[in-house]
Amino acid sequence: MFRTCLDQISPLEKTGLASTSESMFKEYKWEIILIFISVAALGVTLGYLIEQTGPMPRMEDGLEVGKEAPSIKASAWINGTPTISENGQGQVTLVYIWSSHCLPCRFVTPRIVEAYGQYKDRVQFIGLTAEGPDQLEAINEFISENAVEWPTGYGPDAVETIIGFESNLIPEIFIIGPEGKVVWNHNTETSIVDGLELALQNSAKE
């Protein structure tokens, strides 16, 4: 009933079009190959730079240092359910907000894993993602690939907690002191280890 543009072209014209396309490819073959090589080289270069320097600087976001942390909740948990007191009070807690489709998270997570190996006996680590049960396969894949051992919460309740942390960007990290207030976050110029040490020192004084 309906005819495409190609249907209206005679066999001879189709042959001519194919011949023209083939000749154009031959004429610009090396230019096309050069473009592909350039794009690939650019991707490799950017990947190397990100790996060496980490994610690029960004605008500040999230609950400020000194503010009281929200109650930490999630609809469901992976790697066990954490023991959470109100606002994390009474213990030092690191909250890591991430997502399975977040590229910068793949560079930050190994740092959290390293810190977890050093401080897991003294600090409670908790992961949160705004993803729902429909993304459970991707969440589990990310956790497995990055050797994440701490509890990770997801679902609507996790979203509510993330909103409580005023988190609009990912990844974001908050270290909560024993008094339930944020003592360090991702906007701080010092390292994660520095933040954990500060929180533990404050805990020892109380």
Q: Are residues 24 and 123 in the same domain?
A: no
User: What pLDDT sits at residue 156?
Assistant: 97
- Contact (CB, 8 A) for 55 and 102: no
Assess if residue 114 is contained within a domain: yes
Q: Which residue, 69, 71, 75, is CA-closest to 157?
A: 75
Q: Are residues 109 and 186 in the same domain?
A: yes
Assess if residue 128 is contained within a domain: yes
What rounded mean pLDDT belongs to the chain?
80
| Most confident of the ranges 34-48, 79-93, 164-178 | 164-178
Q: CATH number of the domain that 91 lies in?
A: 3.40.30.10
Q: Are residues 46 and 83 in the same domain?
A: no
Q: Are residues 185 and 96 in the same domain?
A: yes
Q: Are residues 3 and 84 in the same domain?
A: no
User: What pLDDT sits at residue 141?
Assistant: 98
DSSP 131-195: --GGGHHHHHHHHHHTT--S-EEESHHHHHHHHHTT--SSSEEEEE-TTSBEEEETTSSS-HHHH
Q: Are residues 4 and 81 in the same domain?
A: no
Q: Does residue 135 carry a pLDDT above 90?
A: yes
Burial of 179 (0-12, 13-18, 19+ CB in 10 A): middle
Q: Does residue 72 carry a pLDDT above 60?
A: yes
Assess if residue 65 is contained within a domain: no
Q: Are residues 26 and 104 in the same domain?
A: no
User: What pLDDT sits at residue 85?
Assistant: 59
Q: Are residues 92 and 143 in the same domain?
A: yes
Assess if residue 64 is contained within a domain: no
Q: Are residues 91 and 182 in the same domain?
A: yes
Higher-confidence residue of 103 and 88: namely 103
Assess if residue 22 is contained within a domain: yes
Q: Are residues 47 and 81 in the same domain?
A: no
Q: Are residues 81 and 46 in the same domain?
A: no
Assess if residue 66 is contained within a domain: no
User: What pLDDT sits at residue 203?
Assistant: 74
Q: Does residue 131 carry a pLDDT above 60?
A: yes
Provide the pLDDT confidence category of residue 59 given band limits of 50, 70 and 90. Answer: low
Q: Are residues 177 and 117 in the same domain?
A: yes
Assess if residue 61 is contained within a domain: no
Enclosing domain of residue 145: 76-205
Assess if residue 16 is contained within a domain: yes
pLDDT in tens, 8-50: 545 545 455 455 555 655 565 565 555 655 544 444 444 444 4
Structural domain tally of the chain?
A: 2
Q: Does residue 54 carry a pLDDT above 50?
A: no
